[in-house]
Structure 1
């Protein structure tokens, strides 16, 4: 069966990443400090792909070909380190994401923020000016 977002669970991905690390005895290097830094480094590498690219072009620049593969590799690197830190800290990623979305829904009610981009503090300061 083909592995994709529709057929692969977070639990399976976490297990696969964990196995990959354990087989290479890299657990010793995968401290929360090192993993958090690795996430930031990989995110910077992803950002570099889009640096100086016009906003509109950024949506189609890596649509196919070698560039697409490179982009997928950068995104995968971030995901691998995110899954690794979740494993290291025993974070239930699905639960954490759902909890954070509930929290964000309170900070960013649809009727107040739809189509807008401000930080939640802006909406708190301007509640009377809906």
Structure 2
């Protein structure tokens, strides 16, 4: 199997909508061709995920409340945020995959449970 570089991973799909299944498959391929999958135990992926959430938190740590859409942020600050959010998402998708869970289906099921738990209250 040839090792896909970053540009090949991006250029395979020009559509903006990327499924969790596509991310899962690309992550599995990315790790496999590098021999990293042997290190991707649930525990290791969870610890990596927690570390990335910490890095994400640092971006907001001293900013106080920020407006939706981040209108006062520089493009480099937004790019940094995108990178950290992506790291969190990628580790989360990998963790679900290694645990044999369908993250998309689990999220939809959770939305249904939350709708029952927190019904719309009309005034």
Task: Report if TM-score (shorter chain) is over 0.5.
Answer: yes
Which position in structure 1 is the counterpart of 2:86?
A: 76
Q: Supply the distance in 1 between the matched residues of 2:72 and 2:84 (Cα, whole angstroms).
A: 12
Structure richer in helix, relative to its length: 1
Contiguous gaps of at least 5 residues in structure 2? 1-12
Alignment-derived partner of residue 108 in structure 1: 118
Counterpart among 2, 6, 13 of residue 23 in structure 2: 13
Q: 1:53-93, CA deviations, whole angstroms, 9 ceiling, x for partnerless residues?
A: 12135752675511111111101101110111111011111
CA RMSD, aligned part only?
Answer: 2.2
Q: Which residue of 9, 14, 27 corresponds with 1:2?
A: 14
Matched, 1:49 2:66: no
Unmatched segments (≥5 aa) in structure 1: 113-129
Runs of 4+ in 1 over 4 A off after TM superposition: 61-64
Deviations 1:16-67 (A, max 9, x none): 1110011111111111011111111101110110012121357526755111
**Is this contact kept in 2: 1:62–1:71, CA < 8 A?**
no
Normalising to structure 2: TM-score of the pair? 0.79
Larger Rg computed on CA atoms: 1
- TM-score of the two chains, using structure 1 as the length reference: 0.75
- Corresponding pairs, count: 111
